[in-house]
Structure 1
Amino acid sequence: GGKIVTGLDIAQGMLELAEQKTKRYLAEGKVNYVYSGYLEHAFPQQFDAAVLVGFFDYIKTPLDIFKKLEKEITKELLMSFPKSGGLLGWQRKVRYRMRNCPLYYYSKSDLESLLTTMGWQNKAEIIDIDRDFFVRVKL
């Protein structure tokens, strides 16, 4: 509908893929992309919502991200966090170690602690979706 979307990534290839999949919306000016890391980029405006999927896998200090999100997002956060343990978690760990890429995992108690630190514990729900936790925060 009437939404305007901004996508941000540090991987040029991911942005190119997103642009291919959203050509129509790009032409209409409904979507734009930023090549940057999240903490390094200063947005000139606030957003209603943020979707962070496949993101916290690479984040060593999620609290820094949460503090920035709190300033920039006004209504809702939708986030995924990779779960430690299980066969899928173990496979992912091996695959990323072979690529020399750090990967961070979260337990439910890690997430509860982070949410409590932010004062979001009563605004959030944590849903176990097999290999990840899905977290929704109503700001």
Structure 2
Amino acid sequence: MSDPLLKQKDYWNRAIDHFDSIYSHEKSFIGNLVDRLVRWDMYKRFQYTMDNAEPISGRTFLDVGCGTGRYSLEFIARGARFVVGIDVSDKMIETCRERAMKMGAADRTGFLLTDLMQYNPDRQFDVCIGIGLFDYIRDPLPVIEKMRATVTGKVIMSFPLLWTWKAPVRKVQLGLKGCDSFFYTKGQVMALVMEAGFRDFTIEKIGQLYCVTAMR
């Protein structure tokens, strides 16, 4: 595993509880209020992903950078036939597997401790998502190209905006914790998606995020 991936693994193993509490709302009243005010676009991004992944029932999904499985297991809850989630954090993958077991979905999920560039599936998926992924990828183009190669249908991605008040704050905060972070202009996102081989795609600005749906 490369040094940047080792740094990511270390950071996410330490940050797992804080990250998951954004979705579980297992915080103080003030903490949840701050999330609703500051991170509302993350919740909108979740709905965007579900809406654009339709039809979900009966289809297969690859979740790159699956974290604690919030997206992967929601696909299962909505009738997905099979979901594979991959992540470089062993604690994230352990959490995903435990949650899949609890909801009786172990036979419809596969959670793997790996990086996308090292992952070689034996079949293509209907949909691949990379949500909250490119915030931490130094060289995104090969990743987007690999995502495109894994699907027969669509790829759904998100990218944090460059020119926002959040960008420098997150850059410093994450940097102090040993985690690199990256931000994008709309032009950069468009160029990356096109260079990866997509021609049919949409870019939607949601708060301080660009959300992309690209057809294979």
The two structures share one fold, judged by TM-score above 0.5: yes
One-letter amino acid matched to 2:175: R
CA contact (8 A) 2:128 2:150 kept: no
1:132 aligns with 2:209: yes
Q: Hey, what does 2:179 align to over in structure 1? A: 101
Which of the pair is proportionally richer in strand?
Answer: 1
- Relative contact order, higher structure (CA 8 A, sep 6+): 1
Q: Is the 8 A contact 1:89 1:131 kept in 2?
A: no
The Cα RMSD (Å) is 1.5
CA contact (8 A) 1:26 1:32 kept: no
Q: Which runs of 5+ in 2 are unaligned?
A: 1-78
SS at match of 1:34: strand
The answer on whether the counterparts of 2:161 and 2:183 sit within 8 Å (CA) in structure 1 is: yes
| 1:128 CA displacement | 0.7
Q: Does structure 1 conserve the Cα–Cα contact (< 8 Å) formed by 2:148 and 2:155?
A: no
- Aligned-partner SS, 1:39: helix
Q: Counterparts in 2 of 1:25-104, with a 5 A limit?
A: 25-27=104-106, 29-104=107-182
The one-letter code matched in structure 2 to 1:16 is: E
* Greater than 3 Å deviation, 4+ residue runs: none
Aligned amino acid, residue 80 of structure 1: S
**For structure 1, which segment, 10-19 or 71-80, has the greater mean C-alpha deviation from structure 2 after superposition?**
10-19
Aligned residues of 2:145 and 2:197 also touching (Cα < 8 A): no
Q: What's 2:89 paired with?
A: 11
Amino acid in structure 2 at the alignment position of 1:118? A
In 1, the alpha carbon distance for the partners of 2:197 and 2:116 equals: 22
Does the C-alpha gap of structure 1 residues 2 and 55 become closer, same or farther in structure 2, counting only changes over 3 Å? closer
Please identify which structure carries the higher helix content.
2
Query: Taking structure 1 as the reference length, what is the TM-score of the superposition?
Result: 0.89
State which drifts further: 37-46 or 85-94: 85-94
Structure 1 CA distance, aligned partners of 2:80 and 2:158?
A: 25
Distance in 2 between residues matched to 1:83 and 1:48, nearest whole Å: 28
Deviation at 1:2, TM superposition (A): 4.5
- Matched residues, percent identical? 25
Equivalenced residue count is 137
Q: Quote the offset at 1:120 in angstroms.
A: 1.8
| Structure 1 residue 67: Cα displacement | 1.8
